[in-house]
């Protein structure tokens, strides 16, 4: 009896862990798609669309780091989500309902300082067909690379 109770308890804990890691990953995946749809639509510069596709999650995150580590653009988005109390889990279920709010947040973050010398805001970088937070690995580029 105790053995089967232990198995049920372990199974329940495993389900909770999976549910709590899969849901945020799905939300982030949908957020990645929303970013690509907004900034790299079909009529966008082909090279930039390739950069966005290649970067994937690293438009906001940093390759080789834990997923909680974000580049400057990812940090700015996270801060904007928190400040605006953006319901990421609700948005994941009904993206249309929160589309205007997400658009508002994307627009606000475009105007924030990127930390780069040449393209001073995230929006400036995107207009220059550069990823907002750095290179395709989410890492900060040197100014020489930025001038491409």
pLDDT in tens, 79-98: 999 999 999 889 999 999 99
Per-residue model confidence (pLDDT) at position 21: 36
The mean pLDDT of the chain is 83
Q: What angle do CA 20, 61, 56 make, to 5 degrees?
A: 95
The CA distance from 59 to 73, in Å, is 8
Residues 6+ apart with CB under 8 A from 8: none
Q: What pLDDT score was predicted for residue 3?
A: 58
- Non-local (6+) Cβ contacts of 145 within 8 A are 135
How many CB atoms within 10 Å of residue 106? Answer: 18
Position 123 confidence tier, pLDDT thresholds 50, 70, 90: very high
What's the CA gap between 29 and 61, in Å, rounded? 12
Tokens representing 12?
Answer: 């329940």
Whole-prediction pTM:
0.77
CA angle 119, 120, 122 (to 5 degrees): 85
- Which of 2-11, 85-94, 109-118 is the least confident region? 2-11
Biggest CA pair distance of the chain: 68
> Taking a C-beta distance cutoff of 8 angstroms, is the pair 106, 36 a contact?
no
């Amino acid at each position: 009896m105790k053995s089967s109770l232990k198995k049920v308890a372990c199974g329940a804990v495993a389900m909770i862990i999976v549910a709590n890691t899969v849901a945020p990953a799905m939300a982030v995946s949908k957020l990645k798609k929303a970013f690509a749809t907004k900034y790299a639509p079909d009529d966008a510069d082909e090279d930039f669309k390739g950069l966005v596709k290649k970067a994937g999650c690293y438009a906001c995150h940093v390759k080789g780091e834990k997923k909680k580590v974000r580049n400057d653009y990812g940090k700015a988005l996270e801060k904007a989500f928190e400040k605006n109390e953006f319901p990421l889990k609700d948005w994941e279920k009904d993206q249309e309902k929160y589309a205007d709010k997400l658009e508002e947040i994307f627009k606000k973050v475009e105007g924030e300082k990127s930390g780069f010398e040449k393209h001073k805001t995230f929006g400036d970088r995107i207009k220059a067909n550069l990823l907002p937070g750095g290179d395709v690995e989410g890492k900060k580029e040197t100014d020489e690379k930025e001038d491409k």
